[in-house]
Amino acid sequence: MPRYLPAIKSRGRLPAAPAVGHLPPLSLQPAGFPWRRTGVIDEAQQDTQTRSAQPGGRRFCVTLAIMPAAELEVENLKVTFSTPDGELTAVNGIGYRLFRGETLAIVGESGCGKSVGAMALLGLIPRPPGKIAGGEIRLGSRAIPAASVRELRTLRGKEIAMIFQDPMTSLNPVFTIGEQIMETILRHTPLSRRRAREKTADLLRRVEIDRLSVYPHQLSGGMRQRAMIAMALSCNPRILIADEPTTALYVLIQAQILGLLNELKRETDLSVILISHDLGVVAEVAQRVLVMYAGEIVESGPVQDLFASPLHPYTEGLLNSLPRLAATRKRRQRLTEIKGSVPSLNEMPGGCPFHPRCPSVMERCKTQKPALLEIRPRHQTACWLHEA
């Protein structure tokens, strides 16, 4: 897929304005273009026609160039598992874009498919029983079918790195953390053993661990997670997938880890996919949010928008069920519950998967599944309440 947007290599310097004739007509732009087909470009072209003779003719390029390009694009990813009960769908055709330097949060409860979706990006789903039933992953200019695990494996560690929820079970207990990080570096880069060791020491120092020859069990939970982050970033990936990185950690350590991730993001222009069920953490670090339920995306949008005015009843339910930290409040207001529980994969309801638990359910919801539509600028949801 050709990139119509000139790549922004460094901030502050804008590329030169191409002449009007070089701007591709709207009809040739790929369907998944990050911004709407109204507004920006029409305005820009109009502008140019009146100003192209002037030095200020650069202006129209400014409007385009500020829009970041999609670092990663996932389209129609579908993951199934074969079980004695038949072929169960864990991820049912999700698609999203990750832009450079942003943190995209994927939110949902256990069993909604968020972790499976992320692991599928790196070819980590065990097959059998898992099967990638469809989808494509586009990284930069490469398009990789999601089912091609061999190709996805080349991305692992180098372009896309992942850190997991429980560092104790994700780190190898019989090797020191220094050895584990060096292994990653030696595998993906041409550095010599000595240089790899130096780099490992640097990385660990950056995450405030001053020793290489310690085993994971000798470290606290927070330190193990920091070691994992060092390992994940050792090959300078463009994208970091963090699967519930702080869920198992105490709140103070969580704040440290999130602060560290933010700093590293700023230093290296990293893009992060953060998977979490903790909406507070998401509000703190993410710019955009996807809400998943039963293997599908039910809402997606900018973080403040989504939390201030959620569109999907499930998102609203999640927000209302949080005990909020407030300075003064009436004692013990009842938390709003979402009745029922997440359906198991072999008991998926027909129509909209949320309808049995939805407080605003309509007849239509039981038989027809709503599609993901944009209701407000960049804020989409899949719900019959919002469709005409």
Partner 1 sequence: MATASANRVLLHVRDLKKHFPVKGNLLNRSSGTLRAVDGVSFTLAKGETLGLVGESGCGKSTTGRAVLQLIRPTSGQVLYKGKDLPRLPAKEMRRLRREMQIIFQDPYASLNPRMRIGSILEEPFVIHRAASGKRERADRVAGLLCQVGLSPDHARRYPHEFSGGQRQRIGIARAIALNPQLIIADEPVSSLDVSVRAQVINLLADLQDALGIAYLFISHDMGVVEHFCDRVAVMYLGKFVEVADRDTLYAAPRHPYTEALLAAVPTLESGRRARKVFISGDIPSAAAPPPGCAFHPRCPIREKICGEKEPELKETEAGHFAACHLRT
| Peptide bond between residue 126 and the one before it cis (omega within 30 degrees of 0) | no
Q: Quick check: 373 and 386 in contact, CB under 8 A?
A: yes
Binding string to partner 1 for residues 156 to 195, with x set by CB under 8 A, is what?
A: ----------------------------------------
- Check binding of 318 to partner 1 (CB under 8 A): yes
Q: Which of 16, 252, 347, 388 lies at the binding interface for partner 1 (CB under 8 A)?
A: 252
What residues does 188 pair with on adjacent strands? none
Give CA–CA dist 79/76, Å, rounded. Answer: 10
Q: Least separation, in Å, of the C-beta of 300 and partner 1? A: 17
Pull the structure tokens for residue 191.
């550095």
- Applying the rule CB under 8 A, the residues between 334 and 363 that interact with partner 1 are 334-338, 341-342
Local structure of 86: helix, strand or coil: strand
Binding string to partner 1 for residues 33 to 72, with x set by CB under 8 A, is what?
A: ----------------------------------------
DSSP code of 346?
A: G
Give CA–CA dist 287/238, Å, rounded. Answer: 17
End-to-end CA distance of the chain: 34
Q: Which of 283, 361, 375, 385 lies at the binding interface for partner 1 (CB under 8 A)?
A: 283
Return the number of the residue (72 or 171) whose C-beta is nearest partner 1. Answer: 171
Alpha helices (H) in the chain, listed in sequence order: 40-51, 59-65, 114-121, 149-155, 167-170, 177-188, 193-206, 221-232, 251-268, 279-285, 303-308, 313-320, 363-367
Q: Which of 280, 350, 359, 377 lies at the binding interface for partner 1 (CB under 8 A)?
A: 280
Q: Least separation, in Å, of the C-beta of 7 and partner 1? A: 29
| Helix (H) or strand (E) segment spanning residue 241 | strand 239-243
Q: What would you report as the CA-atom Rg of the chain, rounded to the nearest whole angstrom?
A: 23
Return the number of the residue (10 or 110) whose C-beta is nearest partner 1. Answer: 110
Q: Least separation, in Å, of the C-beta of 223 and partner 1? A: 6
Q: Least separation, in Å, of the C-beta of 340 and partner 1? A: 9
Q: Least separation, in Å, of the C-beta of 103 and partner 1? A: 12
Interface region with partner 1, contact rule CB under 8 A, candidates 4-12, 164-172, 194-202, 274-282: 274-282
- Check binding of 267 to partner 1 (CB under 8 A): no
Pull the structure tokens for residue 352.
């909209």
Return the number of the residue (180 or 256) whose C-beta is nearest partner 1. Answer: 256
Give CA–CA dist 106/377, Å, rounded. Answer: 19
Local structure of 244: helix, strand or coil: coil
Q: Which of 47, 102, 109, 166 lies at the binding interface for partner 1 (CB under 8 A)?
A: 109
- Check binding of 307 to partner 1 (CB under 8 A): yes
What residues does 242 pair with on adjacent strands? 163, 274
- Check binding of 85 to partner 1 (CB under 8 A): no
- Check binding of 256 to partner 1 (CB under 8 A): yes
Interface region with partner 1, contact rule CB under 8 A, candidates 115-123, 128-136, 143-151, 300-308: 300-308
